[in-house]
Amino acid sequence: TNQPTNQPTNQERRKKKNFGVGTMSKRVVRKKQSFKGLTNFIKELRACESKEDEQEAVNKEMANIRKKFTKHSNKKHTLPSYQKRKYICKIMYMFMLGYDVEAVNFVYMEAVKLCASDSFVDKQVGYIALGVLLTDSHSLIPLVIQRMQTDLNSRNSFVQGLPLTAIANIGSREMAETLTPIIVKMLLAPDSASIIRKKSALSLLQLYRKFPYLSTPDQWLTKLELLLKEHDVGLLCSVLSLILFFTQSDDRDAYAIFVDPIIQILKRIVLEKGYSRDYLYFKVPCPWLQVKLYRFLRSYPMPTSPASREALIQVLKHVITHTNTRGQSVNQRNAKNCVLFEALSLVCHLESDEVHSRGEGAAIMKQAAHVLGKFMSSKEANVRYLTLEGMYNLVTSAPNSVPLVARHLDTVIMAIRDPDISIRRRALDLLFGMCDLENSKRVVAELMGFLQESAYDVENNSFHDELVIKIAILAERYISDGAWYIESILRLITLAGDTISDALWHRVVRVVTNNEDQQAHGARVSFRALQHPNWNEVTVKIGGYLLGEFGHLIADDVATGPEQQFYALHSKFPFCSAPTQALLLSTYIKFSNLYPEELADVVGEVFLQYQNSHDTEIQQRASEYWNLSEYEDAELISKVLYQMPKFPERKRLDAQSTGRSEDTTEGGDYYEDDDDDDEEESSEFSERYRSPAPAAAASPSPAPSPAAQAPAPVAMATPVTGMMMPTQPMMPMQPDLTPALQPMDTPSLVRDPADSQYFRDLSLASEGVLYEDRYLQVGVKSQFQKAAGRYMLYYGNVSGQTLSGFSVSFSPVPYLAAQVGQVKPALQPDEQTQQLINLLCETAYNDTPTLKVSFTLNGTPVQLSFRLPVVPTKFCQPDPITPALFFHKWKQIVAPRQVYVAMFQGLASKPVDLAHITNVLTNGYNLSMVPGVDANPNNLVAAGLFHTERNQAQLTCLVRLETHSAANFYRISLRTDHYHLTAALASLIISQLGQISTIQVAPN
């Protein structure tokens, strides 16, 4: 008989075994979870032979999951946590395959329940599910935030790490605003585990990337510096990623305090070998950390501290001289190369520093050039590409390094024929940068030979065009022999085809016309070019002009007689466009006058033939030239058809005359006029513009004084609309706004006395003069729509002399994306070039981009700097709201940095004028007046919306301006959704109405 026993059953044993697993004690369950059902489901999906079979399996599984959770929805029959985790993992897998999981939308709440469990395994699956499935706009975000707050405050570091990972993946606005202070506290807390501080730094990085306005590192910079003293490499990598983001997005100078600690980290890793062996990657210590450290240092000049400078030089010298990648594995070579090339990039950056360019810095530069030379012949395409790019950076940042790089000219010339198009581009850039007077003829010849070899490479038209442009620039930049220049350009035109810009053949004609000793040679070379089987229309244009003007100089030769010249041109006449045909008719009438016996009858027949042409220009020319040839007064005809005079020193050439549109890139009107430069240099120019040293990296000279004597203003034609933009007289400058806004800890928009008046005028207007002196005039036209805008800049040469080496660099600001067009590298007297700049406002910003213009006048380098008036109000639109809504929004904005209150004295020359103030706020700063808010009619209230591209956000701007006419006094109150907007709007309004020195900032 079966006797009762006290032995536990198998079910009781399992319950006892699992008892306590769900409680979170100091230990963490480490038992590996294996979901057999999930594994079988994945195998089933992979075995499906068609999309329909997979869809059917997914639908079947979703129905089963929905049935399971529905059946156990009451409290008495709950689904075991193991089953919940398994089914949620299945749903995540289906979601990652691209299937819609809304049919099982209860999974979000179930995931939240798992996060609230005491079991670590449940929390782990729950947070993973939230990070994968939840969007940043889901209705459960507030509930999730509450759960995350609880777990972030846990004393268990494993529990704290789970919500940090989910926060980085979800990153909603509410989550960022609520949890950022907690995460910052966890990052800076000295008692936090290293893994938690690392996760905190990465979570903050993700949140700040999405919501930069929440970034307030200035409040904890000193504590952040303490983290750089940690020896945990993983933590340092995470913190460096966060710091690099700050340096790219905020005030870069504020993070200069990290330069010395970062140099000490490099010294500890590279020289002292102070690192754990766990971070030795293929015998390279901490390569990812080293790369970040070098990239940070590239944002700053050479440190001023002697100890830090010496340590940095020793680190760079050690990396450059002790890196050997021969005979090693691919992974080891890649790790060493990444560190080496980052170090070389830092050397190129520091080479522009005047202090670094002497002593040991110069020695490192020589070592860098030597190391790069050894990599030129590497078999790996990536290494060759990086080498060429490194050499180009070295040449552009340190012009005195050109002789060092020029030693490898043969290798660079070989790279121009590399099968990889990216390597060919870098080699072309390097050849262009390292070309000088000594090697110019060889470089041009080699590039010309490569152009001939690649003439039929239709797959790389853009590279072909770039090659043609650079050959033309180099041929003219180093024009020491007129005959060589003419032959080179005509050969280039023959090889390049009809893609050549008209500005090139105009330039050739100008050089030949203005140099009598080259006229016969130019005519002979152009005649020879017409005999080439690969002639093109540009060749015909040059031949038509030069033979018509100077063909008589070679007419005595039997091979180049009058008839040979005429038939060389007329054989191409039917195949040319109407403008070219019109030019040839002008050449024919000159032939008829110069050689009446040989060509008068033949030319007359041509005129008669084209008197009925469908083209009105050709018809008119043929008729007039026919009548002119029949005119009996030979002396008058000779005067009319006399040789064209030399081109004047001042010649206007704009985008319309060259046939290029305003948005042309590098192939626009780019040709210099070195041989036309005036040798005389005024003493005033020498005093005002001469740089202290001839180095290209010298500091910019100050802008010329507004009171300096200037010639009569030149009206700058606008090819887009045909409107004229007359110059305006310089007005008195206003003081700086920076001291007044210092309590707000944000920079002012009006800060430079040299350009503040033009800047303030253009902050209100869409077009006008941006800069003007006796040598250069810069006009601007702008257009904005919501978060996008565009500027068209017009640079006019009013000096009466050639401005060679003309270039414009654009220094962007954070959160303002820019696409910048090219300019011509030389401006003739009274010549104009254009530059198109497209802008996109990502989010609120508090600075304006800077334009740096560089050119050379009679061998003297000139550098000018002025700011582009892209003030934040350009991206504003009026917000016609009611007084009630105004008060509602006003009360919602209470953050200290978003509120600004100040009093200031009005300008003595401008008494309180409500109409003028209203015009400034509405037409100038794109705000809308809100009547009925203030009972005092002398007070004004305005509102606007600031548009951003990121998430298509619209930030509110509210302004209240109280006026006192008798005392000419103002009180301004500002509230916006972003502290950058508050500072910028205060700066702009006060700069238009008041005396900056009288500002009294009221406490918030």
Rounded (5°) CA angle 164-170-174: 90
**Which pLDDT does position 483 carry in this prediction?**
81
User: At CA 212, angle to CA 941 and CA 737, rounded to 5?
Assistant: 50
Q: What angle do CA 18, 22, 25 make, to 5 degrees?
A: 115
pTM: 0.56
List strand residue ranges (DSSP E) for 213-324, in order.
280-281, 284-285
pLDDT of residue 455: 61
Contact 135, 108 (CB under 8 A): no
Which pair of tokens denotes residue 316?
């760079």
Q: Where does 910-987 show beta strands of DSSP type E?
A: 928-929, 940-947, 954-964, 969-976
Hey, what are 616's tokens? 């009105």
Contact 518, 483 (CB under 8 A): yes
The type of residue at 646 is: K
What is the number of alpha carbons within 13 Å of residue 451 lying toward its C-beta?
A: 26
What's the rounded Cα separation, in Å, for the pair 862 and 851?
Answer: 14
pLDDT at 215: 72
Q: Show the low-confidence residues of the chain (pLDDT under 70).
A: 1-34, 73-77, 249-251, 326-327, 351-361, 455-461, 497-499, 649-756, 951, 996-1004
Decide: residue 449, CB within 10 A, 0-12 exposed, 13-18 middle, 19+ buried: middle
Q: Are 704 and 688 in contact (CB under 8 A)?
A: yes
Strand partners, 1001: 902
E-only strand ranges, 799-927: 803-811, 816-820, 826-827, 832-841, 850-857, 860-867, 876-878, 899-905
Q: Which residue has the tokens 């933590």?
A: 235
Residues 6+ apart with CB under 8 A from 260: 303, 305, 308
Q: Is 865 helix (H, G, I), strand (E, B) or coil?
A: strand
Phi, psi angle pair for 837, to nearest 5° = -125, 115
- Please give the structure tokens belonging to residue 6: 């006290």
Supply φ then ψ for residue 174, to 5 degrees: -65, -40
Cα–Cα distance measured from residue 664 to residue 651, given in angstroms and rounded to the nearest whole number: 21
Q: Three-state secondary structure along 613-665?
A: CCCHHHHHHHHHHHHHHCCCCHHHHHHHCCCCCCCCCCCCCCHHHHCCCCCCC
In terms of Cα–Cα distance, which of 855, 832, 854, 842 is closest to 812? 842
**1004: Cβ contacts below 8 Å, ≥ 6 apart:** 896, 899, 900, 901
Q: Tell me, what's the pLDDT at 436?
A: 83
CA-to-CA separations, 125 to 120, 199, 249, in angstroms, rounded = 9, 18, 35
Q: Which of 177, 137, 182, 141 is nearest to 164 (CA)?
A: 182
Q: CB neighbours (10 Å) of residue 779?
A: 25
Is residue 209 within 8 Å of 176, Cβ to Cβ?
no
| CB 452 within 8 Å of CB 418 | no
Beta bridge partners of 956: 945
Burial state string for 157-179 with b = 16 or more CB within 10 A and e = fewer than 16: eebbbbbbbbbbbbbbbebbebb
Query: Which residues are CB-neighbours of 64 under 8 A, at least 6 positions away?
Result: none
Residue 283 three-state SS? coil
Strand partners for 779 = 769, 794
| CA 735/CA 880 separation, integer angstroms | 34
CA angle 275, 278, 281 (to 5 degrees): 90
Q: What is the pLDDT of residue 248?
A: 79
What count of other Cβ atoms lies within 10 Å of the Cβ of residue 16? 10
Predicted confidence at residue 498, as pLDDT, reads 66
Across-strand partners of 811?
A: 850
Phi/psi at 353 (5° precision):
-75, 130
Please give the pLDDT value at position 74: 66
List all residues 6 or more positions away from 645 whose beta carbon is below 8 Å from its beta carbon.
Answer: none
- The helix/strand/coil state of 949 is coil
Q: How big is the chain by its Cα radius of gyration, in Å?
A: 37
Q: How far apart are CA 761 and CA 765, in angstroms?
A: 6
Run of H or E residues at 781: strand 776-785
Written as one letter, the residue type at 553 is L
Q: Which helix (H) or strand (E) holds 776?
A: strand 776-785
Which pLDDT score, from 0 to 100, does residue 457 have? 58
**Inter-residue contact 783 to 789 (CB < 8 Å):** yes
Q: Which residues of 865-887 are buried (b: 16+ CB within 10 A; e: fewer)?
A: bbbbbbbbbbbbebbebeeeebe
Strand partners, 853: 808, 864
Q: What's the token pair of residue 282?
A: 């293929």
Angle 485-491-496 (CA atoms, 0-180°, nearest 5)? 120
Answer for the pair 471, 491: CB distance below 8 angstroms, yes or no.
no
Closest CA to 901 of 955, 971, 979, 967: 971
Rounded to whole angstroms, the Cα distance separating 245 from 822 reads: 29
839 phi, psi to nearest 5 deg: -125, 150
Token pair 């790279």 is found at 415
Q: How far is 396 from 855, CA to CA, in rounded Å?
A: 15
- The whole-angstrom distance between residue 398's C-alpha and the CA centroid of its chain comes to 22
Q: What whole-number distance in Å separates Cα of residue 99 and Cα of residue 892?
A: 41
State residue 614's pLDDT score. Answer: 87
Residues 6 or more apart whose Cβ sits within 8 Å of residue 51? none
The pair phi, psi for residue 739, each rounded to 5°, is -60, -35
- Give residue 273's region: left, alpha or beta (phi > 0; psi -120 to 50): left
Contact 394, 401 (CB under 8 A): yes
Backbone angles phi, psi at 905, to 5 degrees: -85, 140
| Cβ atoms within 10 Å, residue 825 | 22
User: Nearest Cα to 854, choosing from 754, 776, 756?
Assistant: 776
The CA distance from 548 to 724, in Å, is 36
Which tokens in the block code for residue 516? 């009598």
